[in-house]
Amino acid sequence: MSVQTIIKSLEKLVNLHMELLEISLEKTKIVKDGSIDNLQAVLLKERKTVRAVEQAEAKRQTEVEEWFARKRLPTGDATITNMLELVTEEQEKTTLGKITIKLTETITKLKQQEQLNHALINQSMQFVQLSLDMMNPSIKNMNYGNKKGSEPETNKRSVFDSKA
């Protein structure tokens, strides 16, 4: 594999992560609006994009391992960081470094956005739980007083008094 092929794979990963970031922003807006139907559609779109990211990442890892194998280097250390140290051509090294930084920044933004979404969803769940708790009266509120203490004691007699 050439370095250019790996750079193209990294560019594809950046584009997919940018797409995930846009989906995450859309998800934030939908959670704020409270539209469950739209949220389900966005989650489906997100799942498809995540699968594409997984496939692109697996392809990138394979390409990097093949590059290391072609250079007769141990594939156990086959990372982009190690590759940056070994690439000899400056143009490729610069491009590879820039695209790696861009990918890292995009992943960081995506992670922050997803943390915000997680917090918003938790807050929404707490609000729903509070609303449900307020709608369902507790057992204590169902009884307005102490029945035993409020009724006067009367001698209860049977209809049939029997004395032997």
Boundaries of every domain in the chain: 3-133
- If phi over 0 gives left and psi between -120 and 50 gives alpha, with beta otherwise, what is residue 79? beta
Give the C-alpha separation, 94 to 33, whole Å: 43
Asked if the model's pLDDT at residue 160 lies above 70, the reply is no
Give the C-alpha separation, 61 to 9, whole Å: 9
pLDDT per position as a tens digit, 133-152: 787 766 555 555 555 555 55
pLDDT per position as a tens digit, 9-45: 999 999 999 999 999 999 999 988 888 889 899 999 9
CATH number of the domain located at residue range(s) 3-133 in this protein: 1.20.58
Give the residue with greater pLDDT, 107 vs 124.
107
Give the residue with greater pLDDT, 102 vs 71.
102
* Cα–Cα nearest to 18, from 107, 129, 145: 107
Q: How much is the pLDDT for 136?
A: 76
Percentage of the chain modeled with pLDDT above 70: 82
